[in-house]
Amino acid sequence: MTKPVPTNLNKKENSVILSEAAKYVAPLLAQQTIQKQAEGPAFLSSIFEHAAFAPVSLKGHGFSRAEFLNIKKIWHPERSATTELSSGAMQPPGAESNGPPEAGVPGAPAVGAMGWEGDSVAQRPTKISSGTRSFSLQSTRVLAFAALLAFILPATPQEPPPTFHVKVHLVNVFVNVTNANGAPIGGLTQSDFALTEDGVPQKIAYFERETNMPLSLVLAIDTSGSVRKDTDIELRAAHDFMRALLRPTDRLDLLDFNSSAREVVPFTADTRRLDQGLNNLDYGPATALYDTIYLAAQMLGPRSGRKALIVISDGGNTVKGVDFQQALDQAIRGEVMVYSLIDIPIPSDAGRDTGGEHALITLSQETGGKYFYAEYGDVAAAFRKISEDLRTQYLIGYYPVQRRTDTDFRRIQVTLTSSAPKSTSPYTLRYRPGYYAQASTPLDQ
């Protein structure tokens, strides 16, 4: 009796076909290491050979042995004609031969024959029609099986060329712009500035007017004998300065120095603690100025944001230890702006240490800070100018596009462009003139 012909190839039948195919293909893939050389027709041939001889009945699933052999024929037609079947294995009862049987296997079905299990090949249709659509059962199943293999088999991995990544550090430059009278110039925009590093133009990546970036300050007060008579005036001015300048996000560290440097109050925004520190300074005969600058720069270096050192001294250094160049290098490496309040009680005094004064001036100029003469002990005016200076800074940030080595000094130059507002007198730009580059490190470290 002839089986009824299906009128539709629905999703359920196709899912059964894929499920049955996966039952034989997936274990084989799991047993082998999928390598580049294992891919291709030879590997697919081995899959079909295993599937064609799998000792599992496909009855009821609509997926006959002949269909597996026909799929194999598509991939290897030259080998499919000589396929050997074990005696009686998976041969449909009553199946008729559509040609001469394969050698040594009586009654084996011809490769490419499409028949239902248990039916004669001649009784089996190769196409079915439903309405206006015509489907090829053979083509549908072959495509489904090929789609399964395309999904399972991984593509040959391509080895990309090596890529090297390095961290490029953002360089921050704080710029003060003043007119001929020293008054700050505000209202400038990013397009008003141009910047180069070692003569190479740099692209400005970040810009901020009157930056609100947190401020870390070290206030170092000379308590040696040469400035002892002005200490009371300096302490009152320092008290007013701290209360006027410090915000909740800012921090100040208090040092005193004479024969050595001493930390009186560590970084804090608590003005009460700082006032107590100002009332408990230590006094001595000598002046360890460069030791103090070096120590303050070390303390400020690891901190983020703006970093400034305010030194109140007459500039004399009478203690052997750190020299001027070492103190300057440490301040530059720590990106510390040095503000010098040069205390000159008697300007015409023949005993002034002009060498020490010039040292403080140079320290300020080479770090982007500023120096002030506090004549006759008038440090309050100098403190007001420092506060104004720190509140009117432009922040320019850039990522260097060219670096020759990882250890040399980088020279920075900032200028105003033609778009900047015009003035009858030239503007003065003050900023740190350079920095020591940090070594670039891989991103994965």
pLDDT at 445: 41
Query: Contacts by 226-229 with C-beta closer than 8 Å and gap 24+?
Result: 226/287, 226/314, 226/316, 227/312, 227/313, 227/314, 227/343, 227/345, 228/283, 229/345
Residue 246, both tokens: 């410090």
pLDDT at 324: 95
pLDDT at 422: 86
Stretch 389-412: mean pLDDT, rounded? Answer: 84
- Superfamily classification of domain 171-436: von Willebrand factor, type A domain (3.40.50.410)
pLDDT at 257 over 90: yes
pLDDT at 337 over 90: yes
CA atoms of 96 and 25, how far apart (whole Å)? 29
Q: Letter for the amino acid at 107?
A: G
CA atoms of 102 and 86, how far apart (whole Å)? 12
Stretch 123-134: mean pLDDT, rounded? Answer: 44
pLDDT at 330: 96
More confident residue, 228 or 140: 228
pLDDT at 359 over 90: yes
More confident residue, 51 or 185: 185
Categorize the per-residue pLDDT at 364 as very low, low, confident or very high, splitting at 50, 70 and 90.
very high
pTM over 0.85: no
pLDDT at 55: 42
- Residues 215-241 have pLDDT tens digits of 999 999 999 987 777 788 888 899 999
Least confident of 17-31, 179-193, 337-351, 427-441: 17-31
Secondary structure of residue 21 in the 3-state scheme = helix
Give ranges for CATH 3.40.50.410 in the chain.
171-436
Average pLDDT, the chain: 74
Least confident of 106-110, 206-210, 337-341: 106-110
Categorize the per-residue pLDDT at 379 as very low, low, confident or very high, splitting at 50, 70 and 90.
confident
Stretch 306-328: mean pLDDT, rounded? Answer: 93
- Residues 60-102 have pLDDT tens digits of 444 455 655 555 555 455 554 444 444 444 444 444 444 444 4
pLDDT at 97: 45
- Residues 414-432 have pLDDT tens digits of 999 999 988 888 899 999 9
The answer for residues whose C-beta is within 8 angstroms of residue 158's C-beta and 6 or more apart is none
pLDDT at 174: 95
Stretch 318-328: mean pLDDT, rounded? Answer: 94
Q: Determine if residue 112 is left, alpha or beta; phi over 0 gives left, psi from -120 to 50 gives alpha, anything else beta.
A: left
Most confident stretch, 99-103, 173-177, 342-346: 173-177
The sign one gets for the Cα dihedral 14, 19, 24, 28 is positive
